[in-house]
Amino acid sequence: MSGPASQPDYRPFALRKWRRLRPLRRWAQVWLARGVLALTRRISVPAAQRLGRATGLLFHLLARKTRRICDYQLQLAMPELPLAERRVIVSDCFRQFGMTAWEALARPRIAADARHWVRIEDEAVLRNALARGRGVILLTAHTGNWELLSIAFGLLQQPASAVVRDLANSEVSRMLNADRRTEYFDTILRGAPDAPRKMLHVLRSGGVLIMAVDQDIDAQGIWVDFFGIPANTPRAPASLALKRGAPLVTAFDVRGPDGRHTLRFAELPVPTGLAGDSRGEERLTALISQAIEAHIRRYPSQWAWNHRRWKRRPPPDAPAGGEPPVRADPASPQP
């Protein structure tokens, strides 16, 4: 391909799910989650990572359509990559995702030896931003193991709240959210009636509000380019930063070859004059997307390429942040 398409077409990757099997799937998911949680309490972290790699490899072999979605999006986003390199990245992506899942479930084991498994760089960036007294909007992405932020903030002894989504299986979601919460880390359920109030409270109290901004989610969005393709991107971080004057700090996790993790902080400067600009939110959201894209380009195998990042397309001639987006393929469910 010479360049990215104007908008991806996911119709060839539509997944068929039998509605009659939904109760059985939910039951199986709950018991699988309970079983894996119990197992990860009894094995070492390296063993959990090995199981994660094996799970990812098995999923790579069996999940043909998901594998094709990863390759399709990677080809659209980075058309300069040769086929052989794309295949390696897609395979690594599955292994990384498997390790992320098992590490998330093995969180107590990792937390017990947190300084061995999680290294923090540029802590001063976060501390300096917090010192301004307006709270901090921490921007992250589904790269490396974003679930280990709860452990990182335990090491920092800094309270933080992450905005998370409710899973389709509410019981599994409840278990995972309960496992995430610590003395220094809490969650805010996106879309809940009290979510806006809680988010504002975190910033007003000078705390850290964590938001992942790399997926097309059911929230108010703005159309900005992501890898050169218009993508529906959450507007809340830019809106809060401009209205509250809260600094923006990126936090990206990188998994090393030895299985250890490095979390790096960097401040994203907010250009002056955006607060009074009618397109200020759009321009700041574009800068946020550029920062995330730059990190993904550096570590492409550690991003979740299985998510349909461009599953919605902007309405014709719609202004940025204007009319609601349209599903690229109404018959294609979200992954």
CB 55 within 8 A of CB 101: yes
64-77 pLDDT per residue, tens: 999 999 999 999 99
> What's the whole-number average pLDDT of the chain?
87
77-125 pLDDT per residue, tens: 999 999 999 999 999 999 999 999 899 889 889 999 999 999 999 999 9
* Full DSSP string of 212-223: E-SS--SS-EEE
- Give the three-state DSSP class for 91: helix
User: Beta strand pairing status for 208-212 and 248-255?
Assistant: unpaired
Name, in order, each residue with C-beta under 8 angstroms of 253's C-beta and a sequence gap of 6 or more: 140, 143, 144, 145, 146, 148, 149, 261, 262, 263
Q: How many CA atoms lie within 13 A of 299 on its CB side?
A: 19
Residue 167 above 80 pLDDT? no
Residue 315 above 80 pLDDT? no
CB 60 within 8 A of CB 124: no
pTM, 2 dp: 0.87
CB 160 within 8 A of CB 184: yes
- Give the three-state DSSP class for 74: helix
Domain ranges in the chain are 11-327
278-307 pLDDT per residue, tens: 899 999 999 999 999 999 999 999 999 999
Give CA–CA dist 63/85, Å, rounded: 20
Name, in order, each residue with C-beta under 8 angstroms of 85's C-beta and a sequence gap of 6 or more: none
